[in-house]
């Protein structure tokens, strides 16, 4: 055995003396640390016990305080309830007394009213019984009188019928002949008066729609059409003449067209139009028939505006392109073409639709604003397309500017869009 070593009691082996001392010291330190840890744990346990006891005491105090507050609140509520009940009982007692007095008074009044009502009902029943008896008696007498009168009237009528039957038959025959004669005279006079009324109404409509034009009626008995419309711009320039013939008859007659063409040549009018209540079978609203514009009354304003616009456009071309026959020929071809007719039909159809909508607007105005706005836009758009066609034919710099299509305030606005309005 080494004198500088000792036997370790734990591992049972020789350990150098220095290491043994260090190991022993380490063990002592660990024992002291363990003792201190245990001591601190005991101290912590004691403190936790004290804190738990204090917490329990505080909780008991809080509960006692809450119970005390609740008890006092109950007492205060009971006191307030008692006072309120006493006040309510006092007030209700007074009101109850008043109600009892009112009830007694109303009971007395009700009893009196019931007595009066009972008496009135008895009187009404008695009156109804007397009235029924009287009506029954009157009905019996009326039935007897009617039977007597019917028998008397039957006998008198039979006698009168027998005596005057021949006279009546003769009188009926005479009256029938007179009625037929008067009916023929009335129809002739009525047709003439209706035709004059239609002519006057159309004249007023033309004057109202085109204040710058000269509207001249042809006197009755004078050869020619009914109305002459000399188209003029706001500056007073003549653009041409439209001759109008009005017919208010039930049957269409194609001979009207030949007569109107003769009148057109006599008045040297550029356009001839026939306003009739009886259209040809192949025409709906309006159409160009054998060189004559045929239209109904509803389409006449729109057709007049379109024809007037065409005359203004042609006159403007003539003023701007005097001497250029080729462009005049092209323009004339365009005015007599299907495209121009379709443009006019579109404008007039829009006017016809607008008129129908305006009539319906009197009954339901609030339902028509959007539709009428769309139709007005269609009229303006169609007019602008027609003006664009004319510009493409005669040149953009030749035609005068239209203020509504270019800039506001132009002088020609009323000349070209006044009729469409």
Q: Please tell me the predicted confidence (pLDDT) of residue 417.
A: 41
Q: Please tell me the predicted confidence (pLDDT) of residue 83.
A: 85
The answer to whether residue 382 sits within a structural domain is yes
Q: Given the DSSP bridges, would you call strands 5-7 and 14-16 parallel, antiparallel or unpaired?
A: antiparallel
The answer to whether residue 389 sits within a structural domain is yes
Alpha helices in 244-368 (DSSP H): 255-267, 300-320, 325-335, 338-361
Contact 311, 331 (CB under 8 A): no
| Residues 242, 306: Cα–Cα separation, whole Å | 12
115-158 pLDDT tens trace:
888 888 888 888 888 888 878 887 888 788 788 888 887 887 77
The answer to whether residue 34 sits within a structural domain is yes
| Residues 383, 364: Cα–Cα separation, whole Å | 29
Q: Please tell me the predicted confidence (pLDDT) of residue 413.
A: 43
| Residues 405, 390: Cα–Cα separation, whole Å | 14
| Residues 205, 291: Cα–Cα separation, whole Å | 24
Residue 5's SS3 state is strand
Q: Give the residues of the chain that fall short of pLDDT 70.
A: 1-20, 175-176, 178-197, 219-225, 321-328, 362-370, 394-421
Q: Which of 43, 68, 93 is the last residue of a domain?
A: 68
Q: Which of 48, 68, 88 is the last residue of a domain?
A: 68
| Residues 381, 406: Cα–Cα separation, whole Å | 13
**314-324 burial, b if ≥16 CB within 10 A, otherwise e?**
bbbbbeebeee
Q: Which of 68, 88, 112 is the last residue of a domain?
A: 68
The answer to whether residue 201 sits within a structural domain is no
By residue range, what is the domain housing residue 19? Answer: 5-68
* Residue closest to 313 by CA, chosen among 233, 212, 410: 233
| Residues 18, 385: Cα–Cα separation, whole Å | 123
| Residues 55, 278: Cα–Cα separation, whole Å | 114
| Residues 201, 276: Cα–Cα separation, whole Å | 13
Number of domains in the chain: 2
Q: Given the DSSP bridges, would you call strands 286-289 and 271-276 parallel, antiparallel or unpaired?
A: unpaired
| Residues 193, 198: Cα–Cα separation, whole Å | 9
Q: Please tell me the predicted confidence (pLDDT) of residue 412.
A: 44
Q: Please tell me the predicted confidence (pLDDT) of residue 3.
A: 58
């Amino acid at each position: 055995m080494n004198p500088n070593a000792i036997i370790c009691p734990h591992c049972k082996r020789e350990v150098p003396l220095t290491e043994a001392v260090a190991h022993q010291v380490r063990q002592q330190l660990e024992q002291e640390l363990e003792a201190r840890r245990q001591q601190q744990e005991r101290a912590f346990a004691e403190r936790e016990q004290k804190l738990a006891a204090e917490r329990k005491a505080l909780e008991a105090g809080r509960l006692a305080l809450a119970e005390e507050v609740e008890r006092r609140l109950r007492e205060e509520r009971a006191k307030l309830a008692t006072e309120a009940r006493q006040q309510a009982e006092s007030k209700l007692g007074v009101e109850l007394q008043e109600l009892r007095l009112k009830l007694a008074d109303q009971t007395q009044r009700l009893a009196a009213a019931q007595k009066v009502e009972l008496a009135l009902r008895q009187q009404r029943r008695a009156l109804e019984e007397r009235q029924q008896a009287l009506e029954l008696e009157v009905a019996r007498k009326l039935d007897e009188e009617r039977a007597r009168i019917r028998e008397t009237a039957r006998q008198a009528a039979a006698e009168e019928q027998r005596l005057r039957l021949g006279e009546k038959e003769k009188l009926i025959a005479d009256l029938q002949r007179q009625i037929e004669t008067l009916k023929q005279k009335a129809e002739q006079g009525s047709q003439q008066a209706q035709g004059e009324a239609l002519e006057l109404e159309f004249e007023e409509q033309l004057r109202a729609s085109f204040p710058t034009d000269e509207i001249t009626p042809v006197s009755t008995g004078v050869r020619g059409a009914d109305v002459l419309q000399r188209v003029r711009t706001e500056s007073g320039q003549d653009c041409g003449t439209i001759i109008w013939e009005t017919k208010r008859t039930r049957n269409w007659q194609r001979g009207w067209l030949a007569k109107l063409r003769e009148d057109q040549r006599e008045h040297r009018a550029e356009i001839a139009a026939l306003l009739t209540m009886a259209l040809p079978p192949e025409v709906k609203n309006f159409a160009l028939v054998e060189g004559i514009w045929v239209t109904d009354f509803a389409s006449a304003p729109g057709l007049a505006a379109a024809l007037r616009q065409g005359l203004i456009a042609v006159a403007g071309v003539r003023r701007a392109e005097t001497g250029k026959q080729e462009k005049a020929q092209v323009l004339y071809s365009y005015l007599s073409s299907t495209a121009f007719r379709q443009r006019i039909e579109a404008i007039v159809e829009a006017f016809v639709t607008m008129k129908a909508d305006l009539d319906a607007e009197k009954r339901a105005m609030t339902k028509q604003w959007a539709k009428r706005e769309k139709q007005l836009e269609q009229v303006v758009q169609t007019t602008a397309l027609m003006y664009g066609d004319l510009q493409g034919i005669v040149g953009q710099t030749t035609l005068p500017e239209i203020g509504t299509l270019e800039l506001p305030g132009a002088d020609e606005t009323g000349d070209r869009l006044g009729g469409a309005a």
